[in-house]
Structure 1
Amino acid sequence: MNNSQFDKIKNGKGFIAALDQSGGSTPKALAEYGVPEDSYSGEDEMFDLVHQMRTRIITSPAFNSDQILGAILFEQTMDREIEGKYTADHLADKGIVPFLKVDKGLADKENGVQLMKPIDNLDETLRRANERNIFGTKMRSVIHEPNESGIKEVVEQQFDIGKRIIASDLVPIIEPEVNIHSENKEKCEEILRDEILKHLNGLSEDENVMLKLTIPTQPNTYKELIDHPRVVRVVALSGGYSRDEANEKLKENEGLIASFSRALAADLNANQSEEEFNRSLQKAVDTIYDASVNKK
């Protein structure tokens, strides 16, 4: 493990950019970027276009290590190059810590939750991640209802896989997202916090994780997790909130920093000039950084 990267993620000021839209969410991400589905044919063209989008973001002067601690990549992005270097190496050269999304999407809803689909090739993916100088990983489940057995199963699955990731000398970002539209969101968050705490207390001193959580309804619900000695950092997903709303909610939570995707790229468009694009990205970076480091 890269100790300087570990220190940056644990103690640095800033946020983590999520650039990890995968096959299912890529068409929507491209459409929001101003590239409609009828402008390309087939997955190869689609992934070429999304890599162009990510390259434009990553190479922008607005995408800088003064405000951005790390970036989460999709597997194909890890295997592609930016300006002659693999993406993770390009990010590291900029002082930004690279992470990799490793989950294969969500299973069908059951017991009020969506577990992760099986990650059949995880060991091979982790081997390649180490080859590509990836620091950590991310994997997402979703909680819709305050079903205790369902939430327990989500957290167990996350930590079981997380321990395999730790064994590969990578830091897992455990992401049990709570649906922002859940009618009992606050109750889901209370159950989730308690389940995560049980698993954190069971980790050994050389086992460390990160958490990526929906911004809680009740500010500082996750403060005990943020302060836990086995937690490197707790980051928040925007979860469908607008950037302004996500930022305002984030400011209310001490020690919680952003890991936004849609909220980061919402104002970017393929048809913008470089000046317009960089200005829009800088505005997003500035406001998300501010919400991550300046609390109410």
Structure 2
Amino acid sequence: MSKQDQRNKIATGDGFIAALDQSGGSTPKALKLYGVEADQYGSDAEMYDMIHAMRSRIAQSPSFGGDRIVGAILFEMTMDRQIDGKPSATYLWDTKGVVPFLKVDKGLAEESDSVQLMKPMPELGALLDRANDAGIYGTKMRSVINAASESGIAAIVAQQFEVGKEILAKGLMPIIEPEVTISIADKTAAEDILLAEITKQLDALPEGQEIMLKLTLPETANHYKPLVDHPKVLKVVALSGGYSREEANDRLSQNTGMIASFSRALTEGLSAQQSDADFNGTLGETIASIHAASVAG
């Protein structure tokens, strides 16, 4: 199947995007929530083996499939590994009908002007070539907004689109993720600035180009509806951002046309100690609730 088939799955598929892309910095925390303590692995290699085992268990679960999940975002190391004897991206698409994406950013720079830009990515071109070779459809990259700073938010959005154009040039679909921290006092004002800056960048994109957006669930329902409806946006997905799954689902269901792309909220309640029956049952209930919220709008 072609990239056009994958695009159609994202555009029209009934479901959400699973974020399985915890990186080096967040892996210990993700493992701890999964019931694996730091003293259970003696090196980074063992730690990454354990997080891959968790991701593989999720992907191989009968609950995890293209009927309710349209895409999955992978960490670079997951792309380079196998699930059930197949390269991870191939397994997701060929076996599960789930479109594979790749997290490509290298983490956040120090805060400046109330935002954290992405660190430089000097090897991005080579990584994108590998992603294409591996059968990846698109990419994801995250930066963070910590206050309603007009100049800071403008800088974040400009950087995201600049890198997004490099990704588009390689024939991949960029998911642009300028996350607004959920705890800030001026979140509503930050979201107003963000909407304006993204719209400005979208309008400047050449005709025929399109991107995806991953955004924090807004304070005002349907705040990002103009982006959902924009002709240069394939899909707007929502991050859970630290909200509980229940609150994230509740907020998501009020935003027409947005679908979930949850990470922590997806793995909430899963444990390495669970039997396969309990694990698959818990994951199935989680997927059903996130799917319902994604299609409610």
Q: What is the RMSD of the two structures over their aligned residues, measured on CA atoms?
A: 0.6
Q: Match of 1:53?
A: 54
- 1:72 pairs with 2:73: yes
Offset at 1:206? 2.5
Question: 1:2-29: CA deviations, max 9, x gaps?
Answer: 1010011011110000000000000000
The two structures have a TM-score, normalised by structure 2, of 0.99
Give matches, 1:17-166, under 5 Å: 17-93=18-94, 94-166=96-168
- Structure 2's unaligned 5+ residue stretches are none
Secondary structure at the aligned position of 1:103 is classed as: coil
Q: Which digits, 9 at most, give the CA deviation of each residue in 1:108-148, with x for residues without a partner?
A: 11101000000110000000000000000000000010000
Matches of 2:269 and 2:27, distance apart in 1: 17
What SS does structure 2 have at the residue aligned with 1:56? helix
What CA deviation, in whole Å up to 9, does each residue of 1:77-129 have, x standing for no partner? 00000111100000001110000000000011110100000011000000000
Number of aligned positions between the proteins = 295
Counterpart in the other structure of 1:12: 13
More off after superposition, 201-210 vs 161-170: 201-210
Structure 1 runs of 4+ aligned residues shifted over 2 Å read: none
Query: Percent identity among equivalent residues?
Result: 57
Can you give the 5+ residue segments of structure 1 that lack an aligned partner in the other structure? none
Amino acid at match of 1:74: F
Partner of 1:202: 204
- Post-superposition CA distance 1:163-217 (Å, at most 9, x none): 0000000000000000000110000000000000000001112211000000000
5 Å-filtered alignment, 1:273-292, equals 273-292=275-294
SS across alignment from 1:117 = coil
Residue identity matched to 1:54:
R
Q: For 1:106, what is the secondary structure of its paired residue?
A: coil
Q: Secondary structure at the match of 1:172?
A: strand
- Alignment partners' CA distance in 2, 1:272 and 1:42: 24
TM-score of the two chains, using structure 1 as the length reference: 0.99
Matched, 1:264 2:266: yes
Letter in 1 for 2:112: E
Q: Which letter does structure 1 place at the counterpart of 2:159?
A: Q
The CA distance in 2 between the partners of 1:24 and 1:88, in whole Å, is 23
Q: Helix, strand or coil: the match of 1:198?
A: helix
Does 2:1 match 1:3?
no
- Aligned AA (1:117): K
